[in-house]
Amino acid sequence: MKTRDQYIESLKELKSIIYFEGEKIESVVNHPLIQPHINSAAMTYEVANDPMYEDLATATSHLTGKKISRFTHIHQNTEDLIKKVKLLRLIAQKTASCFQRCVGFDALNAVYSTTYDMDQKLGTDYHERLKKYLEYVQENDLMVAGAMTDPKGDRSLSPSKQADPDLYVHVVEKNDKGIIVRGAKAHMTGMVNSHEMLIMPTAAMKEDDQAYAVSCAIPIDAPGVIHFFGRQTNDKRKFDEMDQGNAKFGIVGGECLTVLEDVFVPWDKVFMCGEYKFSGTLVERFATLHRQNYGGCKAGVSDVVTGAATAMAEYNGVSRASHIKDKIVEMMHLTESLYCCSIACSAEGCKLPSGASYPNALLGNVVKQNVTRNIYEIDRICHDIAGGFIATLPSEKDFNHPELGKYIKKYFVGKADYSVEDRYRMARLIENMTGGTALVESMHGAGSPQAQRVMLLRMGNLPHKVELAQRLAGIETNQDEKK
């Protein structure tokens, strides 16, 4: 397994093409916009090498029997699913940010089980290819970016009916050596500081969309791959330590737009190529695996937000007020509600035909639906407790100015027991964690709220619930009629 430093050194070897504001980024390492995201991802390597967290952060490969990072593991039982959630909460508590390896982790698991099903039904050899690729990922402890979301264009039209066929990633050529793909993947978390990307279809495809039913693995610096690093709320503050808030680990996951300009993929890295009937299965499995996560990582982040609100109440001199205590209790209740749902969907998981374990899909969707609400309420309460100055603070340059700084320090003082700099830093942390990009990711990461509601309606077994009510009301049910 890689150490934290080995992971960072490995990024220096990549020849990725990355742009930000029209300028090419020559190296992601030490770049002020990207280094915080690298630090956050590096924490996954750090905990895996810490004996204190060995049980959570490592696993035994079912392919090789070797000790590996849990982020490259295929879940073998519900215990693995539960440990995953606990690990995510732990790392989120340490970074208060997205550590970016979950998407690739979930992609590997989703593609693993889907390729098995494809081979069983179609006689293909995708699963064997995937297993060999997985061994390569495990042996080198690679960070894989899961790549599912396409730009989509006109959402009322299928991929093949778009005015521009490249709005969904698709196969443009096949030959005896491999395939050539074209298109783009959007909102790619951690892409620029990963080693590989695992492409998946973004939706269930129909027969006309066979070319878009594609899954394959591509190095992030392969010829024809271009990355456009995205803007984030207050991203230019990364050039200033105090103004950034979470200076070491940044905001969310450093998302980007990844363009694939006729990228060649050898057959041994292709795991789906036209088998459109299995695209929906892959999408649904990935979505469930990814939604399972959110009660872990978001609970960890919310632990930090709750701690920041509690600290700010103390700095402001209001920590003893009963209404403040009640609000903090509510933050804790909402946080634990997220966490227990993720644990429940893991504990209620099942074995798939491939032997891999899979979370309860209904409860996985409940996890993410709750995140779209609870995080906003947790952050709202934090804003209530902290006060309006978290959004209107003068800059770090003003704070540290040799002549002007005295005014900032005079008028932003709080309780005498604490320095004004501590209060300033905590305010910036709260601003960083509870606004802009972080909230949008809580809403739309792993699918929009409506996507979960569709799944809840599909899986909720309403006819059974109606039958339960009818029986208790003394109404003859359809089952009774059949008897």
Q: Which residues are the active-site residues?
A: 98, 102, 189, 255, 290, 294, 297, 441
35 closest CA partner among 12, 62, 57? 12
Query: If we measure between CA atoms, which residue out of 151, 172, 159 comes closest to residue 258?
Result: 151
* Structural tokens at position 255: 């998302």
Which of 256, 237, 257, 233 minimizes the C-alpha distance to 247?
Answer: 237
**In which element (H, E) is residue 178 found?**
strand 178-185
Task: Say how far apart CA 246 and CA 429 lie, in whole Å.
Answer: 6
Class of residue 108 by CB neighbours under 10 A (exposed 0-12, middle 13-18, buried 19+): buried
Helices in 227-360 by DSSP H: which ranges? 241-244, 279-316, 322-347
Distance of CA 144 to the CA centre of its chain: 12
What backbone torsions phi and psi does residue 32 show, to the nearest 5 degrees?
Answer: -60, -25
The C-alpha atoms of residue 188 and residue 199 are separated, in whole angstroms, by: 11
Rounded to whole angstroms, how far apart are CA atoms 323 and 303? 19
Largest CA distance in the chain: 89
Question: Cα 308–241–18 angle (5° rounding)?
Answer: 110
Instruction: Tell me the two tokens of residue 15.
Output: 């020849």
CA distance 237 to 272: 42
43, 95 contact by CB (below 8 A): yes
Is residue 179 classed as helix, strand or coil in its secondary structure? strand
Give exposure, 68-99, as e/b (b: 16+ Cβ within 10 Å). Answer: bbbbbbbbbebebbbbbbbbbbbbbbbbbbbb
Please state the three-class secondary structure of 325-359 as a single string. Answer: HHHHHHHHHHHHHHHHHHHHHHHCCEECCCCCEEC
Interacting residues of 443 by C-beta distance below 8 A, sequence separation 6+: 372, 449
